[in-house]
Amino acid sequence: MKGYIQVYTGNGKGKTTAALGLALRAAGAGLSVFIAQFVKGRHYGELEALKRLSDAITIKQFGQAAFILGKPTEQDIALARAGLDDVKNIIDSGEYDLVILDEANVATSLGLFSVDDLLSLIDLKPDDVELVITGRNADPKVIKRADLVTKMIEVKHYYKKGVKARKGIEE
């Protein structure tokens, strides 16, 4: 099967959710999935659900438990770059059919690693691996390289009315 490069970007909700939906579909079809979450180190509901599918889906976080506010710390940068190295090895291993780089676009926009680093990783992708890159602020070079780009656009969000993240829905 030919693998393509997909990008889910934009300021709307649903980029990670779309990628996880694809992971579920792939696992259901017998494909093996690796999800690298950049910038994220907190515990999210999807981690518990994915534990139940650990024979088909592997997920690893490369971020701290706190959000990055302002300039990233040296530890933020080190975690993201270590994650990028891990993903290079994962792609090279041939063990996974679908590799998801969740929030990799955010990682580049924050300077955790460069767009050129991300493009170099894309260049390593074998023809039979599907690669999905999520996150706001996708660089034009990444968009140009992709085969499919979906832009999530926020039209309306209850967060602006003061609704906090709800367990099982936003977290």
**Burial (0-12, 13-18, 19+ Cβ within 10 Å), 86:** middle
The pTM assigned to this predicted structure is 0.90
Continuous segment of H or E residues that includes residue 61: strand 57-62
Number of domains in the chain: 1
Q: pLDDT digit string (tens) for 6-62? A: 999 999 989 999 999 999 999 999 999 999 999 865 666 677 777 777 788 999 989
Q: Is residue 168 part of a domain?
A: no
pLDDT of res. 35: 96
Burial 59-68 (b: 16+ CB within 10 A, else e): bebbbbeeeb
Burial 120-149 (b: 16+ CB within 10 A, else e): ebbeebeeebbbbbbbbebbeebeebbeeb
pLDDT of res. 76: 86
Which parts of the chain fold into alpha helices (H)? Answer: 15-28, 45-51, 74-93, 104-109, 115-124, 140-145
CA distances from 86 to 38, 61, 69, 154, 171 (A): 12, 11, 25, 32, 25
69-78, 83-92, 116-125, 161-170: which has the minimum mean pLDDT? 161-170
Q: Is residue 104 part of a domain?
A: yes
**Residue 152 structural domain:** 5-157
Q: What CATH number is associated with residue 114? A: 3.40.50.300
With beta carbons less than 8 A apart as the criterion, state whether 88 and 96 touch: no
Q: Is residue 142 part of a domain?
A: yes
How far apart CA 49 and CA 95 sit, in angstroms, is: 22
pLDDT of res. 140: 98
Q: Is residue 127 part of a domain?
A: yes
Q: Is residue 54 part of a domain?
A: yes
Q: Is residue 58 part of a domain?
A: yes
Amino acid making up residue 117 = D
